[in-house]
Amino acid sequence: MAIFNAKDRIIECKLVYYGPGRGGKTTNLEYIFKAFNKNTSAEMVSINTMGDRTLFFDFLPIGLGKIRGCEVKIQLYTVPGQTRYRSTRKMVLKGVDGVVFVADSLEVRRKANMLSLRDLADNLKDEGKSIFQIPLVLQYNKRDLAEQGIPLLPVEIIDLDLNNKLKAPYFSASALKGDGVGATLKHALLVTLRQLQKELQWTR
Amino acid sequence: MSEKESIKTLLKEAEIYRTQGLLADSKAKYVEVLSLIGKNPSFSKNQKLVDGVKSKIRAVDKSLHELKERPDKPELTQDMQSLIKKLFTFSQTKEAAAIEGAVALAKFGQYDKALHEFHLLLEEGILPLVTAKNIVRCYGALKKPEAAAEQFTKWLSRDTFSFDELKQLRSFIIAVLEKEGIEVRLPEVAARPKRAAAAKKGQETFLEISAISIHFQGGPYQSQDLDFEVQFQSANTVTVHVPSSRKEVAEFLAPGTRLDDIQCYSPITVFRSSGTVAGTATIKHGPKQGDFTLDISIDAD
């Protein structure tokens, strides 16, 4: 839940990157950390062991500077994507203000995308939130693999699978190359802060 | 696309999936390649190709096995545990935040650290029933029913909880462990004698007991009296030593066993009492390695 310190005019909010395992959530944060280094107030923390799988979460705090007279600080988190880490995902979602859902464009991951989105909806519901109301942006990642002849789902198909009812904004991306990462984050921040402005009645 | 090109494409796909960490999908593609090879004699005779693909499948299988075998939630460093507490505590009050921090540790699988924190909170008297239930949950998650039972027996012998709270805790422990598929025997919560219920922490002193004699009403020493020297005493709980040669005694006097006839020897008097076995432990190091210690809570007089 966003913290609004009206006296010091500081807003802190939480954005969670969600999605199936190996979809590119951590890669998104790693790119953001490298690209926006001067805006990060601390190091990126990744709790993973045995290679590069996130077991607990990644955490990256970012300062956005002053927006409408308020100092805005964002905490970015990722969740572990594997099915067996459901309880960890629930914990990380506590107090979430906005979500970026990173879908895997590989054809072989079609079902995993849908199951993960369903998991997100269920966990948000347990938090008293609705996937239809929380600020949400979809990212269709790994688009670069088409160049290597790997079967990808067309964007229209992924969008139909995941976004038919949600009608959330979406971006194509290649987190490994950094394509679409910034645009996704920017829009996610926009929709999240817009919502917070309404909820917190934060004005200049 | 020719068969050769199909095999090349599938192999490329399999390798990409492997590097992406999509091991099951990678294996599926390698198996598909093997199946294609098998259908074409000109490929199936190419032993180098067949062996190469089988070797890839073995490598992927090994990675899958390693993934399956690793602990779900490994123990983290102290710094990481502190970060978890900091990031996942939302309560404004100090007490609720303390509990929430310990709960966060447990939810992230840091049970040993969480137990340490919960025990401290219990000693400080912070939301004791909530804290106790979380202690039980940790033991359940660690699949340590004997530790949960031992803990409950300790609570029975102390004044931390009321009769009703103890009954609640007893039902809670059984439910938590049943959920983990574990059956546990717990002592019943007996209504406390008024004198014991009225005793307040720090206000009652207990005679120093140097030795006890237990009259066995069952088990291997039925109708016999066995003497034990007291090694250590804390309030009304005495610790006695049982040599490994009398293992059956330690086994019979399991936590929760009620002892209705105990002769207690103190420097100034001898008196008869009753008590409950609060805990047992095996000595793991030193000259008495393999022997046992028993904690016995003597009923207050």
CATH number of the domain where residue B215 is located: 2.40.10
Write out the two tokens for B35. Answer: 């199946």
* pLDDT at site A2: 75
* pLDDT at site A40: 60
Q: Kindly state whether residues B159 and B54 are assigned to the same domain.
A: no
Q: Tell me the C-alpha to C-alpha distance, in Å, between residue B68 and each of A86, A177, B43.
A: 16, 30, 34
Q: Kindly state whether residues B246 and B144 are assigned to the same domain.
A: no
| B104: chain A residues, CB-CB within 8 Å | 91
| A93: chain B residues, CB-CB within 8 Å | none
- Selected for mutation to probe chain A from B15, B18, B20, B105 (highest A CB count within 10 Å) is B20
- Decide if B143 is inside a domain: yes
Q: Is the alpha carbon torsion for B247, B249, B252, B257 positive or negative?
A: negative
> Any chain A CB within 8 A of the CB of B104?
yes
Q: B115: how many CB neighbours lie within 10 A of its CB? A: 22
* pLDDT at site B223: 86
- Decide if B102 is inside a domain: yes
* pLDDT at site B196: 44
Q: Kindly state whether residues B227 and B287 are assigned to the same domain.
A: yes
Contact B73 A55 (CB under 8 A): yes
Q: Which secondary-structure segment (H or E) carries B271?
A: strand B270-282
Q: Are strands B292-298 and B270-282 parallel, antiparallel or unpaired?
A: antiparallel
Q: End-to-end CA distance of chain A, in Å?
A: 21
| A53: chain B residues, CB-CB within 8 Å | 21, 67
> Any chain A CB within 8 A of the CB of B114?
no
Q: Kindly state whether residues B51 and B87 are assigned to the same domain.
A: no
Write out the two tokens for B93. Answer: 């009050």
Contact B70 A47 (CB under 8 A): no
- The whole-angstrom separation of Cα B198 and Cα B200 is 6
Nearest-neighbour CA in chain A from B12: distance (Å): 8
Q: Kindly state whether residues B267 and B284 are assigned to the same domain.
A: yes
Nearest-neighbour CA in chain B from A179: distance (Å): 18
Nearest-neighbour CA in chain A from B41: distance (Å): 27
Q: Tell me the C-alpha to C-alpha distance, in Å, between residue B284 and each of B243, B288, B292.
A: 13, 8, 9
Low-confidence spans in chain A with pLDDT less than 70: 6, 38-42, 48-51, 201-204
Contact B17 A21 (CB under 8 A): no
Q: Tell me the C-alpha to C-alpha distance, in Å, between residue B113 and each of B119, B135, B155, B163, B191.
A: 10, 11, 21, 29, 34
**How many cross-chain Cβ pairs, A to B, lie less than 8 Å apart?**
61
Write out the two tokens for B253. Answer: 């006097």
- The whole-angstrom separation of Cα B108 and Cα A55 is 10
Domain hosting residue B55, numbered range = 3-69
Q: What is the pLDDT along chain B (301 residues), one digit of tens a residue?
A: 788 888 999 999 999 999 999 999 999 999 999 999 998 888 888 899 999 999 999 999 999 998 888 777 788 899 999 999 999 988 878 888 899 999 999 989 999 999 999 999 999 988 899 899 999 999 988 988 889 999 999 998 888 888 888 999 999 999 888 888 888 788 888 775 444 444 444 444 567 788 899 998 888 888 888 888 888 887 788 889 888 888 889 888 988 888 888 988 887 677 888 898 888 888 876 677 788 888 888 886 5
CATH number of the structural domain spanning residue B25: 1.20.58
| A60: chain B residues, CB-CB within 8 Å | none
| Closest-CA residue of chain A to B73 | A55
Residues in contact with A183: Cβ distance below 8 Å, sequence separation at least 6, in sequence order: A171, A173
Last residue of a domain, one of B130, B158, B191: B191
Q: Kindly state whether residues B107 and B57 are assigned to the same domain.
A: no
- The whole-angstrom separation of Cα A55 and Cα B74 is 9
> Any chain A CB within 8 A of the CB of B141?
no
CB-nearest partner of A91 from B12, B70, B104: B104
- Selected for mutation to probe chain B from A56, A79, A145 (highest B CB count within 10 Å) is A56
- The whole-angstrom separation of Cα B215 and Cα B270 is 15
Buried b (16+ CB within 10 A) or exposed e, A140-162: bbbbbbeeeebebbeeeebbeeb
- The whole-angstrom separation of Cα B260 and Cα B92 is 49
Local structure of residue B187 (DSSP, 8 states): -
Q: Kindly state whether residues B217 and B235 are assigned to the same domain.
A: yes
Collapse the DSSP code of B173 into the 3-class scheme (helix H, G, I; strand E, B; otherwise coil) and give the result.
helix
3-state secondary structure labels for all residues of chain A: CCEEECCCCEEEEEEEEECCCCCCHHHHHHHHHHHCHHHECCCCEEEECCCCCEEEEEEEEEEEEEECCEEEEEEEEECCCCHHHHHHHHHHHCCCCEEEEEEECEHHHHHHHHHHHHHHHHHHHHCCCCCCCCCEEEEEECHHHHHHCCCECCHHHHHHHHHCCCCCCEEECECCCCECHHHHHHHHHHHHHHHHHHHHCCCC
| B108: chain A residues, CB-CB within 8 Å | 56, 88, 91
Q: Kindly state whether residues B224 and B182 are assigned to the same domain.
A: no
Work out the angle between the directed axes of helices B128-141 and B111-123 (0-180°, nearest 10).
160
Q: Kindly state whether residues B85 and B187 are assigned to the same domain.
A: yes
pLDDT tens digits, one per residue of A25-81: 999 999 999 887 766 666 788 876 556 788 889 999 888 888 778 888 899 999 998
CA gyration radius for chain A? 16
Instruction: Give me the residue spans of the domains in chain A.
Output: 3-198
Contact B16 A148 (CB under 8 A): yes
Q: Kindly state whether residues B106 and B180 are assigned to the same domain.
A: yes
> Any chain A CB within 8 A of the CB of B111?
no
Q: Kindly state whether residues B180 and B99 are assigned to the same domain.
A: yes
For tokens 């956005």, name the residue: A64
Last residue of a domain, one of B156, B191, B226: B191
| A52: chain B residues, CB-CB within 8 Å | 21
Give backbone dihedrals phi and psi of A92, rounded to 5 degrees, phi first. -65, -30
Please check whether residue B218 is in contact with residue B260, taking contact to mean a CB–CB distance below 8 angstroms. no
* pLDDT at site A51: 62
Q: Kindly state whether residues B172 and B230 are assigned to the same domain.
A: no
| A107: chain B residues, CB-CB within 8 Å | none
Collapse the DSSP code of B263 into the 3-class scheme (helix H, G, I; strand E, B; otherwise coil) and give the result.
strand
Contact B76 A56 (CB under 8 A): yes
* pLDDT at site B203: 42
**What's the pTM?**
0.74
> Any chain A CB within 8 A of the CB of B24?
no
Contact A91 B108 (CB under 8 A): yes
Provide the domain count of chain B.
3
Collapse the DSSP code of B4 into the 3-class scheme (helix H, G, I; strand E, B; otherwise coil) and give the result.
helix
Residues in contact with A103: Cβ distance below 8 Å, sequence separation at least 6, in sequence order: A19, A20, A23, A109, A113, A116, A117, A138, A139, A140, A141, A158, A162
Q: Tell me the C-alpha to C-alpha distance, in Å, between residue B300 and each of B157, B270, B275.
A: 10, 15, 9
Query: Maximum Cα–Cα distance for chain A, whole Å?
Result: 56
Domain A3-198 has CATH 3.40.50.300: yes
| Closest-CA residue of chain A to B68 | A84
